[in-house]
């Protein structure tokens, strides 16, 4: 398991963050946290596990943007990755390192009831401005498409003034997910634009009391290996029924730089493409995490070579 280490996130109203290894953030703009993790030698970038610290934001917004539905062709490409690609990639991503999720021990199982049926809950907490959320959403959408269907996905890019600006991605703001195996809940806590005072990002969706309790309790240095306590409640947070968790992106958002959403989606059929390898290795880890909490269904997915490779790496049954 790679170690989380994070630079301190500047509080709202502070004029700017301290410069880090990747240079100074644009003056007057909030910048994201980033961390480099040594998980192997890479061709272009070093593997990263990166996190964004949640802090309070302003109450009034500016720069509101209209919701833009994702292109149906792109959604189809993202949600119908060939099984051969999953199995060829497995968890191998030599050019762009991928950090695995953290398997939790002896925590209470979390489920919700949908249509009278109790299902394991997959909880995502993130923000639209966040480049690390942007990177992780690709894999989350792909992984969950193996267990159900998506609707309402929207186009999104991370904030243009943050680190890894304009990382192409999607938003879960209006997304709906339907599955007979698991229930997916998402919260985009901030938009990708600043509030009227330009002190922080505009607040957006609010978690329920139960979601907030899970987020605050487990997105915490007490539970997440390598997470420093000043970076508790970091983005993105993905909780698989309280049995497996992700805090931060599994691979660096820098991997997506210079590529459009369409280009990334089109490349998902090529198991030799470095970006595809990073996304699909991450998706296989997430798929194995889902299989570990839903009873291993559907068997065609959970017993596939790529998922078995991820489960073995994670130490899951």
Give the mean model confidence (pLDDT) for residues 156-171.
97
- Prediction pTM value: 0.85
Q: Tell me which residue has tokens 């999607």.
A: 170
Domain locations in the chain as residue ranges: 52-314
Residues 75-117: tens digit of each pLDDT? 999 999 999 999 999 999 999 999 999 999 999 999 999 989 9
Residues 207-234: tens digit of each pLDDT? 999 999 999 999 999 999 999 999 999 9
Annotate 46-59 with DSSP letters as a single string: --B-B-EE-----S
With a cut of 50, say whether residue 38 has pLDDT above it.
Answer: no
Q: How far is CA 66 from CA 69, 82, 173, in A?
A: 10, 33, 12
pLDDT for 7:
25
In this structure, the strands spanning 183-188 and 117-126 are: parallel
DSSP state of 39: S
Nearest in space to 45 (alpha carbons), one of 263, 249, 287? 249
pLDDT for 218:
98
């Amino acid at each position: 398991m790679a170690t989380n280490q994070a630079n301190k996130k500047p509080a709202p109203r502070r004029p700017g963050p301290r410069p880090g290894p990747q240079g100074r953030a644009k003056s007057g703009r909030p910048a994201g946290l980033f961390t480099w993790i040594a998980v192997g030698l890479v061709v272009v970038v070093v593997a990263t596990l990166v996190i964004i610290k949640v802090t309070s934001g302003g109450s009034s917004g500016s720069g509101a943007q209209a919701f833009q539905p994702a292109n149906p062709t792109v959604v189809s490409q993202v949600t119908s990755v060939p099984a051969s690609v999953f199995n060829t990639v497995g968890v191998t991503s030599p050019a762009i390192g991928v950090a695995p999720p953290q398997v939790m021990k002896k925590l209470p199982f979390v489920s919700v009831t949908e249509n009278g049926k109790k299902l394991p809950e997959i909880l995502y907490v993130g923000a639209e401005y966040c480049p690390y959320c942007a990177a992780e959403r690709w894999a989350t959408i792909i992984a969950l498409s193996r267990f159900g269907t998506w609707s309402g996905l929207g186009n999104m890019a991370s904030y243009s003034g943050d680190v890894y600006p304009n990382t192409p991605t999607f938003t879960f703001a209006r997304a709906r997910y339907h599955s007979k195996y698991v229930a997916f809940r998402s919260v985009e806590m901030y938009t990708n634009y600043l509030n009227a005072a330009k002190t922080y990002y505009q607040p957006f969706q609010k978690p329920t009391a139960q979601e907030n309790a899970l987020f605050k309790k487990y997105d915490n240095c007490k539970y997440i290996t390598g997470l420093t306590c000043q970076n508790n409640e970091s983005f993105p947070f993905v909780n698989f029924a309280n049995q497996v968790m992700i805090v931060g992106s599994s691979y660096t958002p820098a991997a997506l730089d210079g590529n459009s959403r369409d280009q990334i989606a089109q490349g998902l059929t090529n198991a030799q493409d470095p970006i595809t390898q990073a996304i699909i290795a991450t998706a296989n880890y997430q798929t194995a995490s889902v299989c570990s909490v839903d009873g291993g269904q559907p068997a065609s997915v959970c017993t596939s070579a790529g998922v078995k490779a991820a489960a073995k790496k994670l130490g899951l049954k």
